[in-house]
Structure 1
Amino acid sequence: MTTLFDDLGGEPGILRLAEAWHVRCLAHPIVSHAFSHGYHPQHTERVTAYWGEVLGGPARYSQELGTETEVVRMHSGNGPAEEMFAAGAECFAGALTDVGLAEGPTRERLLAWWAESTERMDGYPDDAADVPEGLRVPRWEG
């Protein structure tokens, strides 16, 4: 079985997906709130590095940009976020379509990864300080 990193065409393919997802998020009435206070100027490139590492590519995010603890903390401490994460999943599914990923095993694996990763990101709704130190960027094998 190939990695999802490979199935998406490596970093260029993941960048296209991250760009499509980001555009959808900024236009979404619920998800756009997460970006309303600003975001890193290289947000899409950072997402690309993170997704690439998680999906079987090089460990560029953890070697150059940050830790899993920092990623989870960014998504924590905002109270229950089921509606936000559901809307984000809608944006992700739409972005898969935008980049031409039709129904099939790769799309299903990506949607399963998304569901698992948002569950992990929603694990500390009360306080970002609850996120433990030393978390490692996971490699998704599903």
Structure 2
Amino acid sequence: MSRPSIFEYAGGAAAFRALAADFHARCVVDPELEHPFSHTTDPHHVDHLAEYWGEVLGGPPVYSAERIGHSGMLDIHARNGMQPPLVAAFVRCFDEAVVAQLPADPSLRQTLHDYMVWATTEVMWYDAKDSVVPSALPMPRWDWSGPAT
């Protein structure tokens, strides 16, 4: 018997929507992150974030089919001066939202933490002012063992 995807185990789309909303609320009031997050003017940001994370973590391909795909997401976050204190705060807020919103399972929490460390590292690859994000990058996929692609 195979283990359900992280997306399914966590509670599906509703759980990822709650996770994204909690995470965003934490970032807006965080001393390190409030400034960059105060400039998020997209009223659908939380929904898009939930769709992105859901897809990466085993859910349906909503983000890549209906939004800007992985390259587009990276390009939005590229060249923004993402310094280590911001990265650490971002991961901390994510971990806190996971604890608040998702099942209390140490394996789930560790897998999601590892994913976010990996994801922020990838964003940092494109932080230099002259960075160019390649077009049509495949959507990353994570399972219980880590990156699946």
TM-score strictly above 0.5 = yes
Quick one: distance in 2 between partners of 1:5 and 1:80?
Answer: 27
Over 3 Å counting, the alpha-carbon distance change for 1:80 and 1:65 in structure 2 is: closer
Match of residue 66, structure 1, among 50, 65, 68: 68
Q: For 2:81 and 2:87, how far apart are their aligned partners in 1? A: 12
- Equivalent of residue 83 in structure 1, options 85, 93, 97: 85
Give the drift of 1:42: 0.6
Asked whether the 8 Å contact 1:73–1:129 carries over to 2, the reply is no
Following the alignment from structure 1 to structure 2, what is the Cα–Cα distance between the partners of residues 82 and 116?
14
Unaligned runs of 5+ in 2: none
Question: Quick one: which of 120, 138, 141 aligns to 1:139?
Answer: 141
Please give the alpha-carbon distance, in whole angstroms, between the structure 2 residues aligned to 1:101 and 1:39: 30
In structure 2, the residue matched to 1:44 is 46
Across the two proteins, how many residue pairs are aligned to each other? Answer: 142
SS at match of 2:81: coil
Closer, same or farther: CA 132–74 of 1 in aligned 2, 3 Å: same
Deviation at 1:129, TM superposition (A): 5.0
Q: In structure 2, what is the equivalent of residue 54 of structure 1? A: 56
User: Does the CA contact (< 8 Å) of 2:10 and 2:102 recur in 1?
Assistant: no
Structure 2 Cα separation of the partners of residues 62 and 125 of structure 1: 22
Please give the alpha-carbon distance, in whole angstroms, between the structure 1 residues aligned to 2:93 and 2:126.
22
Partner residue in 2 for 1:22: 24
Return the offset for 1:127.
2.9
The aligned counterpart of 1:119 is: 121
Partner of 2:125, secondary structure, is coil
Which residue of the other structure, out of 101, 108, 118, is the alignment partner of 2:110? 108
75-84 or 109-118: bigger deviation: 75-84
Contact 2:71 2:133 in 1 (8 A): yes
Shift of residue 100, structure 1, vs aligned partner: 5.0
AA aligned to 1:30 is E
Once the two structures are TM-superposed, the CA of residue 103 in structure 1 deviates from its matched residue by 5.0
For 1:34 and 1:80, locate their aligned partners in 2 and report how far apart those are by CA, in whole Å. 10
1:95-126 per-residue CA deviation (whole Å, 9 max, x = no partner) reads 11221543511111111111111111111111
